[in-house]
Amino acid sequence: MNDITVHDKTFQLFLSETEIQTAINRIGQQITVDYKGRTPLFIGVLNGAFMFCSDLMKAVDVSCEITFVRLSSYTGTKSTGEVRTIMSLQEEVAGRDIILVEDIVDTGLTMQKALKYFHTLNPNSVEIASLLVKPDALQCELDVKYRGFDIPEKFVVGYGLDYDGYGRNFKDIYQLKLDQV
Ligand code: IMP
């Protein structure tokens, strides 16, 4: 019951739609307080963060803008060790208050490199909002100021998160079942 199958794997319900929306409302209220009088620019990291971005923006009650980037640390099949934007921003970042919106922070390396990149564009400030964080998987120091849930180091799908491209459309988040790797 409450299991789903994506490709060859079975997942079990982990976070319900209600739990997710409650966490997002909490983050939205935090951001509303912290950014009072400012006009933050949300930068959603595609593809995974599209649902979180949409709901987070609705939960924020300050004047704000949103845009999206696609990041890649790969050229062909090789990691370059640097995050490149492969869909560049039209918006001016210099002087802005940036909130990077991510679906999940795992090793933290993507966000660490993204932070480094966005700092080169001279913003006024940069913070990270991530719906999920796997603290035990972190491989670097990363300040995720706005976070929905700290979760165990297990693979999850749903609510924008995919397994091999599929599973993003579920309203809830599902975790890989215990007997599978
Ligand atoms: P990091 O650089 O290791 O923090 O990787 C973050 C990215 O890995 C996320 O944006 C996701 O695309 C992907 N990822 C990490 N863990 C999961 C998971 O459990 N489910 C789906 N995607 C994941």
Domain extent at residue 22: 3-180
Using CB distances shorter than 6 Å, the residues near ligand 1 are: 48, 102-110, 155-156, 161
Q: How far is the CA of 155 from the centre of ligand 1 (A)?
A: 9
The residue contributing the CA closest to ligand 1 atom 15 is: 106
Give the CATH number for residue 77: 3.40.50.2020
Single out the residue of 153, 154, 157, 131 nearest to residue 144, CA to CA: 131
Provide the number of structural domains found in the chain: 1
Cα 67 off chain centre by: 14
Q: Is 97 an active-site residue? A: no
Please tell me the distance from the alpha carbon of residue 167 to that of residue 66, in angstroms, as a whole number.
24
SS3 state at 41: strand
- Tell me: the pLDDT tens digits for 129-176? 999 999 999 999 999 999 999 999 999 999 999 999 999 999 999 999
Kindly state the percentage of the chain with pLDDT values over 70. 89
- Tell me: the pLDDT tens digits for 87-131? 678 789 999 999 999 999 999 999 998 899 899 999 999 999 999
